[in-house]
Amino acid sequence: MNDETMITVENLKVHFVTWKGVVKALDGVTFEIRKNETLGLVGETGCGKSVTSLSIMNLIPPTDGTVVEGHIYFENIDMTNPLVNMKKPDVWLKYGRKGKVKLKYNRRRYVKRQEFVNKIRGKKIAMIFQEPMTALNPVLKIGYQLTEPLIYHSKNELAMRILSRIDINNANFSDMVDAVLNNKEDKIKSYLEDPKLKPLMEQLRSIMFRKDLTRLQKSERMNNIRNDKPLNSLERKYLEELVENNGHERFFWRFPIIHRIVFKRIIMEAERKAMELLNLVNIYNADIILKEYPHELSGGMRQRVMIAMALANDPKLLIADEPTTALDVTTQAQILDLMKDLKYRIGSSILFITHDLGVIADIADRVAVMYAGNIVEIGPKDDIFYKPKHPYTQGLLKSIPTNKTMKEKLHVIPGSIPNLVNPPAGCRFHPRCPHAMEICTREKPVMKEIEKDHYVACWLY
């Protein structure tokens, strides 16, 4: 791991215990995501893309399965065992006689690990889940679900937003509005570097994202940003305390009644930010949506709420599991823009999981191709698209319909994805591979670098 990597996944093996046997869902997945890059992860359904992302998030249900081998390093923390002093694992497989396997877990240790990971999850690493209906809590209003991560992780940033809006003088403010309206990149950048002005700048910029507003409407909205109620001295003291102590409360929590009053400011600000986030993902009646329950929204809307939630705390690593599959093309394009902006603003890295190779071509820097729990090829986008080496990647690319192949029969890769309880020995792709050799049935191929930065796991090379 060097300075350039954001997260390293090393030889990750994840097993699930089911009544049919042990599902070997991941079989030694190795890759890294560098700083400020988008890694696209593609592969057929059931090949383990979601399991990879769930393991990074520590979200594999302890009643179903666990990481049995391997490491995930994020900022020098091993996410597979984040509490280094925890010698015994919290979830493990117990192999009994007659080949019986049971999944055991220690509740106390599991809770301890989750408490630790909670500080990272949603703040530094965020995820857009594949199925919004299962990821959103059905009994809580959208407003609560959106503001909770903001209040949990970044009270200090919310406090800073209020202070920066109230304390800025008029001349400075109109200069900022001017910079945003006229797209003066250097000026915007210098404002973003000033910690006091950054929150305000970001608020102004979030309005610019709305394509349906005219310039006049935009400038009007920007000027409306500062219609706050003035702060009284207690509130100011509370907010300044939050900023100084990095979001921890040292003084006011001892006085519950006063605390309840000053804390309202933070809640209101979180709601305000939640509305901005919803605006960012093209939901404009945000004040109504915040009061609704997930089941009252359409599928695409839920998906966008999930995206807003993931973007809430400006994560360093964003995992997007098929984020745009349920959306129409215009919204999809806007979401992709949003992710590019996240990369530009805070240098985030993105793991982008999708079936849609067109989207990958648009957004990814590098592409990893996955098959039955293994990464079979990984490399720069152009190499993967124009010089694919692994027979599976070649098959995958051939099966995209193009103008040329419109009248012919579409290419399909013969066979289907193997049963992961008893996966084929050697290379897991060999039963479907047109170039299969004898060695492929015996030994698992290792990753080889065949061009600069282009790795493939195949015996052909």
Residue 231, CA distances (Å) to 162, 324, 363 in order:
9, 41, 43
Write each residue from 76 to 115 as x if it is in contact with ligand ATP (CB under 6 A), else as -, in one continuous string: ----------------------------------------
Distance CA 72, CA 302 (A): 30
Residue 310 and residue 129 in contact, taking contact as beta carbons nearer than 8 Å? no
Q: Is residue 47 a contact point for ligand ATP (CB under 6 A)?
A: yes
Backbone angles phi, psi at 245, to 5 degrees: -95, 20
| Choice from 6, 9, 15, 16 touching ligand ATP (CB under 6 A) | 16
Provide the minimum distance between the beta carbon of 337 and Mg ion in the complex, in angstroms, as a whole number: 24
Angle between helices 155-167 and 142-153 (to 10 degrees): 90
Q: How many CB atoms lie within 10 A of CB 17?
A: 18
**Positive/negative CA dihedral, 331, 53, 453, 370:** negative
- From 17-25, 196-204, 231-239, 240-248, span contacting ligand ATP (CB under 6 A): 17-25
DSSP secondary structure letter of residue 254: G
What is the number of other CB atoms lying within 10 angstroms of the CB of residue 236?
18
Nearer to ligand ATP, 42 or 301 (CB): 42
Separation between Cα atoms, residue 367 and residue 382, nearest integer Å = 9
Among 38, 50, 203, 349, binds ligand ATP (CB under 6 A): 50
Tell me how far apart the alpha carbons of residues 346 and 251 are, in angstroms, rounded to a whole number: 32
Which CB atom, from 94 or from 189, has the smaller least distance to ligand ATP? 94
How many Cα atoms occupy the beta-carbon half-sphere of 388 within 13 Å? 16
Q: List the interface residues with Mg ion, window 130-149 (CB under 5 A).
A: 130
115-134 binders of ligand ATP (CB under 6 A): 130
CB of 192 to ligand ATP, least distance (A): 36
Q: How many residues bind ligand ATP (CB under 6 A)?
A: 17
Binding window for ligand ATP (CB under 6 A); candidates: 16-24, 213-221, 422-430, 446-454: 16-24
Q: Are strands 38-42 and 454-456 parallel, antiparallel or unpaired?
A: unpaired
Q: Quick one: which of 6, 29, 51, 360 contacts ligand ATP (CB under 6 A)?
A: 51
Residues 6+ apart with CB under 8 A from 185: none
Which strand (E) or helix (H) includes residue 343? helix 329-346
Radius of gyration of the chain (CA): 25
Q: Out of 25, 310, 311, 357, name the contact with ligand ATP by CB under 6 A.
A: 25
163/168 Cα distance (integer angstroms): 8
Shortest distance (Å) from residue 332 CB to Mg ion:
18
Which amino acid is it at 79? M
Site for ligand ATP in 257-276 (CB under 6 A): none
Residue 50 makes contact with Mg ion by CB under 5 A: yes
The interface mask with ligand ATP, positions 418-437, x = CB under 6 A, is: --x-----------------
Choose the binding region for ligand ATP from 49-57, 100-108, 165-173, 197-205 (rule: CB under 6 A). 49-57
Toward ligand ATP, which CB reaches closer, 49 or 161?
49
Q: Which residue has the tokens 């989750």?
A: 114
- Residues 6+ away with beta carbon under 8 Å from 382: none
**Rounded least distance, CB 86 to ligand ATP, Å:** 23
Confirm or reject binding of residue 349 to Mg ion (CB under 5 A). Answer: no
Among 28, 32, 37, 48, binds ligand ATP (CB under 6 A): 48
Q: Which stretch binds Mg ion (CB under 5 A): 45-53, 140-148, 170-178, 247-255?
A: 45-53
Residue ranges in contact with Mg ion by CB under 5 A: 50, 130
| Chain positions contacting ligand ATP, by CB under 6 A | 16, 18, 23, 25, 43, 45-51, 61, 64-65, 130, 420
